[in-house]
Amino acid sequence: MVKSYLKFEPSKSFGVVATSSSNLVWTSSKDKSGTGAGQAIVAANNEVLTWDIKKGELLNRWKDENCKAQVTAIAQSKTDPDVFAVGYEDGSIRLWDSKISTTIVSFNGHKSAITILAFDKSGVRLASGAKDTDVIVWDLVAEVGQYKLRGHKDQITGLRFIEPEPQIPEGGDDEEQAMVLDNEATEGFLLTTGKDALIKLWDLSSRHCIETHVAQNSGECWALGVSPDLSGCVTAGNDGEMRVWALDVAGLASSARKVDLSQAINFLHDRGTLHRSSKERAVEVIFHPRRDYFAVHGVEKSVEIWRIRNEAEIKKSLARKRRRRRELAAKKGKKEADAEEEDDKADDISKADISDVFVQHVIVRTTGKVRSVAWALSQGTKDLQLLVGGTNNLLETYTIVGKDKLKSKGDAPDYNKALAVELPGHRTDIRALSISSDDKMLASAANGSLKIWNIKTNTCIRTFECGYALCCSFLPGDKVVVVGTKEGELQLYDVASASLLESVNAHEGHAIWSLQVHPDGKSVVSGGADKTAKFWDFKIVQEQVLGTSRTTPKLKLVQSKILKVSDDILSLRFSPDAKLLAVALLDSTVKVFFVDSLKLYLNLYGHKLPVLSMDISYDNKLIVTSSADKNIRIWGLDFGDCHKALFGHQDSILQVAFVPHNSDGNGHHFFSASKDRTIKYWDADKFEQIQRIDGHHGEIWAIAVAHSGQFLISASHDKSIRVWEETDEQIFLEEEREKEIEELYESTLTTSLEQDPDAEDENREVGAASKQTVETLMAGERIAEALELGMADLNAIKEWEEAKQQNPNVAPPQRNVLFMALGNISAEQHVMNVLQKIKASALHDALLVLPFATVPMLFTFLNIFAMRSMNIPLTCRILFFMLKTHHKQIVASKTMRAMLDGIRTNLRGALKRQKDEMGYNVAALKVVGMQLQHKSVKDYVDEKWEEENEENKAVKKRAFVQVS
């Protein structure tokens, strides 16, 4: 019989506040219970989290089960604050409704990670920029990609819709004036910057680039900030350089409706260069939505706040400069007239030097390196508030005093840290995990902090400050945790009282790489870089309370014996029967000693690089070792023979751990975790890989298996702690192999489909926003299958009807089993059902899969759809797309021409019927509205109704209070 295993599935993920893969968004609290500080929408690997900034509470978690890629960009819609666009590393974009935490639409058009997203003013279009150098404009109503803009030669770093209010020029000679399109609504403009140091202005109506400038002198442009009134923008790059650009919005608005512009006009004007105090490359430039400030930061531990001066201040600054110039002129004996001429030039505000307009307000020093910032618009405070997301898994809010609040002229603006979300995660990578004996608590140790978690609720119960922790373990009773540090200290922490009990300098300043509690629970062994393994007994010592005669019991570590070896100890393990101690050395060998006499029992040679971790099975028969040479070796503990060497992972294997009780009960299944971001589940008897577990986005530093064997916990460089639970689902090894091969095939298949387009198409500035994925290929195959079945059915019925005219008693034909199973539906209904099930965003790509031979079949059904008025919007969309795609072949075919005539007649008839119906309904609704108004009950669509209702409720409540 084929052996089956039980599958481990992801169940929980915690420990992340915010990851540094994406920007963050601040939004006000929507419900009444929310605090005034608002909410932060942040990326957490492949999820998006909503934090209440004041309470430090997780309000929401947006997670798509099918998406494993990291979040790389977030944007909020300007018109509907509940709608957020989220871009991912694999080039996909999802639109989330924050109220219900579900995806509304998903798009897939980019070949690589999304870098920036922007909504337009009306919220019906979304522009996305990615590392693949393309900008795609998406129509959110039709749920399709409209077009792809090519022009940048490196990743897109900034993106903003510029939608000025339309202005129609008045007067002027007809001959001089360009032709104006009156009835057309313009689509606006798009401003983009790329790492290629270019800033481009695109006209979205004609879909081409109307202006290109070099944005940075120092080589790369990394950020774009546009002022809220669209009058200008700031680009930032390397070496602390920022360029200020004036944007002629009025000129753009008036040119938007012109077709022929006789002379080239520049709408972007370089106003000058500013220099930040830091020389790091910039990451973001964010303008305050309501006040004249903007924040700019790089990857250092500070955010610079710049202020835009008002006219009076600029004039004052210019007057000061003029006075200085006159004094200099008087010294040099210049003529008065020359000096005055220069003064007049200098007095013009529009020509003022850019350093007179923009001044640095304050530099905010942050706890960690900054990844993203957002302005918080909290009610009740007139100070500026800045939300900062760090690369160290932290959110902070800073309150900055504005210029108007400074008491005297010489006062320096001040700032202070108001709030922080830091408890639910470590600042640095977790290096060790330990699970309590009842499987209810988890200890996680990192550089500087030790945290105790409740596994069931995922909440952090205790946080301790510690050294650079490398290993940790719960002591028997689960009340005390012991931590081994890089500084060579063993630290004991009491979970109940949240205090440090004792710190012992165990290895004289050498790192403690491993420690393990003796199976009898009375002692602990620590192995370090000083080439010794030290045994420590737990002793309860009565210690005198200072200033009294009372004593209190205190736990102490007392060294009992020492084992000296020839090299640094990287890992050590007791056998469960406590007879043997295995020690892994830096010289790539493993030595096994008897615990009682510390005599050498076995030498295990074989690994080419040092062994980083090992574990002994619960029946004391096997020892498994994992090494930096990417191999896992399984050894017998009776003779020290190597049973098998397995090439386990694509990178160093950092930890292995046996499962206490697997389905056979012999405990010979184990997990391995590696720097290649995967965990693998192995059978040590059959030397087979049972399952590969993906999910982490960084190297996996530590794993811990529950004492019950029902779940596994892993901690990674991506700051997340993940729980993987054993399910009742069975795994068969053959099926797993097939699944892996299929995944590999699918990934290579889609990349081979994404071949470079024709040279002619590649050089064009605008292209189709399409991308073939496995989903679109499957959809295309389903359409082709449905068309073939449908045509066969139509032909069979047609033959039967012809035969019926000769012989009325002829039996109806035998239809395909599928139609019968679906409730004896017609062929056209089946084809329509298949087409309707395909997502709007994937439909065009699915239709591209169809060979031209199937187009006549498709048009046959489109004709039937038009005749029977079946889903006219979808019919029109498919028809127009196919006509555009296969225009040359369709025009060249005589049979198709007749078919198109029929479709046109039927479609026009169907559209006219629908138009009449809608007109009739609109007229009827107007009549009903007039009747309602006449009876003066309420307006038919009454917008103030809800507000009035709330006011009435409030009045009622007050009345009730007075009565009481």
pLDDT tens per residue across span 902-952? 888 888 888 888 889 899 999 999 998 888 878 776 655 655 655 555 555
Whether residue 105 has pLDDT greater than 70: yes
Is 356 in a helix, a strand, or coil? helix
Give CA–CA dist 329/311, Å, rounded. Answer: 26
Q: How many CB atoms lie within 10 A of CB 746?
A: 13
Token pair 């006062």 is found at 411
pLDDT computed for residue 84 by the predictor = 92
Q: Is the dihedral of CA 840, 842, 845, 846 positive or negative?
A: negative
Q: Is pLDDT above 80 for 124?
A: yes
Tokens of 50: 């909503």
Distance CA 646, CA 628 (A): 13
Going by pLDDT thresholds of 50, 70 and 90, the confidence category of residue 841 is confident
> CA separation (Å) from 628 to 437, 486, 672, 694?
30, 20, 12, 20
Q: Please give the distance of CA 748 from its chain centroid, rounded to a whole number.
A: 24
pLDDT of amino acid 183:
41
Residue 634: which pLDDT band, with cuts at 50, 70 and 90? Answer: very high
CA dihedral 701, 704, 709, 710 (to 10 degrees): -70
Report angle CA 642, 648, 649 to the nearest 5 degrees.
Answer: 150
8 A C-beta contact, residue 220 and residue 237: yes
* Average pLDDT over every residue of 762-781: 75
pLDDT on residue 173: 45
**H/E stretch holding 448:** strand 441-454
| Per-residue confidence (pLDDT) for residue 129, from 0 to 100 | 92
Please give the pLDDT value at position 571: 92
Question: Can you tell me the mean pLDDT for 482-498?
Answer: 89
Q: State mean pLDDT over 648-663.
A: 84
- Mean pLDDT is highest, among 125-134, 137-146, 866-875, for 125-134
The mean of the pLDDT values for the chain is 82
Q: Convert the pLDDT of each residue in 33-53 to its tens digit.
A: 556 678 899 998 888 999 888
Q: What is the mean pLDDT of residues 95-105?
A: 87
The Cα–Cα gap between 100 and 98 comes to 6
pLDDT of residue 958: 41
Whether the predicted pLDDT of 351 surpasses 80: no
pLDDT band at 171; cut points 50, 70, 90: very low
Q: Name residue, tokens 């039996």.
A: 811
Ranges 412-426, 567-581, 657-671, 858-872, most confident:
567-581
How confident is the model at residue 336, as a pLDDT?
A: 54
**Three-point CA angle 121, 126, 130, nearest 5°:** 135
Long-range contacts, stretch 686-691, CB < 8 angstroms, 24+ apart = 686/3, 687/634, 687/643, 687/644, 687/646, 688/733, 689/646, 689/733, 689/736, 690/5, 690/731, 690/733, 690/736, 691/5, 691/7, 691/8, 691/731, 691/736
For the residues 673-691, what does the mean pLDDT come to? Answer: 89
Q: Please tell me the predicted confidence (pLDDT) of residue 674.
A: 92
d(CA 410, CA 317): 15
- pLDDT per position as a tens digit, 752-761: 665 544 444 5
pLDDT in the model for residue 178 = 43
Model confidence pLDDT, tens digit, residues 240-256:
888 888 888 887 777 76
Whether 649 and 682 have beta carbons less than 8 Å apart is answered as: no
pLDDT confidence bin for 118, thresholds 50/70/90: very high
- Cα distances (angstroms) measured from residue 251 to each of 42, 186, 191, 200, 349: 38, 14, 15, 16, 20
Nearest to 5 by CA among 658, 731, 666: 731
Distance CA(280)–CA(237), nearest Å, equals 9
Question: CB of 463 within 8 A of CB of 53?
Answer: no
Number of C-beta neighbours around residue 183 at 10 A: 5
pTM of the model: 0.82
Model confidence band, residue 705 (pLDDT cutoffs 50, 70, 90): very high
Predicted local distance difference test score (pLDDT) of residue 680: 92
- Specify the pairing of strand 384-390 against strand 679-683: unpaired
Alpha helices for 807-839 (secondary structure H): 817-821, 827-837
Average pLDDT in the 504-525 region?
A: 89
Report which of residues 1 and 129 the model is more confident about: 129
pLDDT, mean of residues 955-962: 41
Residue 171 buriedness (CB in 10 A; 0-12 / 13-18 / 19+) = exposed
Q: Is the pLDDT of residue 739 over 50?
A: yes
Residue 241 CB contacts under 8 Å (≥ 6 apart), including other chains: 216, 217, 218, 273, 274, 275, 276
Output the pLDDT for position 611: 92
